[in-house]
Amino acid sequence: MPEAPTDHRHDGDRPGGRPAPRGGEITYVAKNMRLDLRLIAEMVPPGATVLDIGCGDGTLLAHLSAEKGADARGIEIDMAQATQAVAAGLAVIQGDADHDLAFYPDGAFDYVVLSRTLQAVERPREVLRQMLRIGRHAIVSFPNFGHWLLRWQLLSKGRMPVTETWHREWYETPNIHPCTIRDFFDLCRLEGYEVVRWLAVDDRGLKAPWTRSPRLANLFGEQALFLLRRGRR
């Protein structure tokens, strides 16, 4: 399958994961920060405790620490990136979402962030459970496999889609669990997670205006971003 950049993890040639949005369509939270990271940063209130899973070189952590006075920590699977983050004075450990979350105590963080990594973990459902166990909120971003271009390519060519976002062949991709926006809504319902906010962005980096229709967002949204809260049951 072609690939969506899994956070920063397997995408050495494109450290930002995706090209910078063209034009000045969106409000810049921070220069040179990946779009979804900027949107995530907007969701985190000042002074929060944050765990960023798949934090890469720590761009988001550095921003949250400096701009929001957050107590921000990270986990990164890639040793070179983890070392770079630590060398920048950030509290980052080398580890991975599937194996290291279990060791954190309940409610240790206000926000647990997983950006563009969910589709690449071994057990996404378990990772989400852990996120909402150790954090009061979870912020999850993922590339939407329901985007119209992917659907069209599969329909017209009968082959796994290859796009800018999903660019690695099916036999090489680390993205073993792709899902659509509607799939993700279903999982949240199944697990009893409250969707506090959600949004989709198109391939130009614009916030998609389809927040009232998950079906439209699922067709035109290239990336999805969810803010979840543990359910009350």
Q: Which is nearer to other proteins, 103 or 171 (CB)?
A: 103
Cα distance between residue 112 and residue 60, in whole Å: 12
- Residue bearing tokens 């809260």: 229
Binding flags for other proteins, 27-66, as an x/- string (CB under 8 A): ----------------------------------------
Rule CB under 8 A: say whether 71 interacts with other proteins: yes
Residue 55: which residues within 8 A CB-CB, separation 6 or more? 61, 74, 75, 76, 85, 90, 92
DSSP state of 105: P
Helices marked H in the chain: 35-43, 59-68, 79-87, 97-100, 124-134, 148-157, 181-191, 214-220
Residues numbered 153 to 212 that lie near other proteins (CB under 8 A) are none
- Minimum distance between the CB of residue 106 and other proteins, rounded to whole angstroms? 10
Q: Taking the complex as a whole, how short is the minimal distance between the CB of residue 100 and other proteins, in angstroms? A: 7
Asked whether 119 and 177 are in contact (CB, 8 A), the reply is yes
Residue span binding other proteins (CB under 8 A) among the ranges 13-21, 90-98, 135-143, 151-159? 90-98
Neighbours of 103 (CB within 10 A): 9
Enumerate residues 93-122 that contact other proteins by CB under 8 A.
Answer: 93-95, 100, 103-105, 108
In a 13 Å sphere around the CA of 118, the CA atoms on its Cβ side amount to 31
Which of 29, 108 has the CB closer to other proteins?
A: 108
Q: Shortest approach of other proteins to residue 205 CB, angstroms?
A: 32
Instruction: Report in angstroms how near the CB of residue 8 gets to other proteins at its nearest.
Output: 16
CB nearer to other proteins: give 104 or 198.
104
3-state secondary structure at position 70 = coil
15 versus 209: smaller Cβ distance to other proteins? 15
Asked if 118 and 178 touch (Cβ cutoff 8 Å), the reply is no
Binding window for other proteins (CB under 8 A); candidates: 91-99, 112-120, 163-171, 194-202: 91-99
- Judged by CB under 8 A, does residue 9 bind other proteins? no
CA 149 to chain centre: 20
Query: 208: phi > 0 → left, psi -120 to 50 → alpha, else beta; which?
Result: beta
Does 90 participate in binding other proteins (rule CB under 8 A)? yes
Give the binding site for other proteins (CB under 8 A).
71, 73, 79, 82-83, 86-95, 100, 103-105, 108
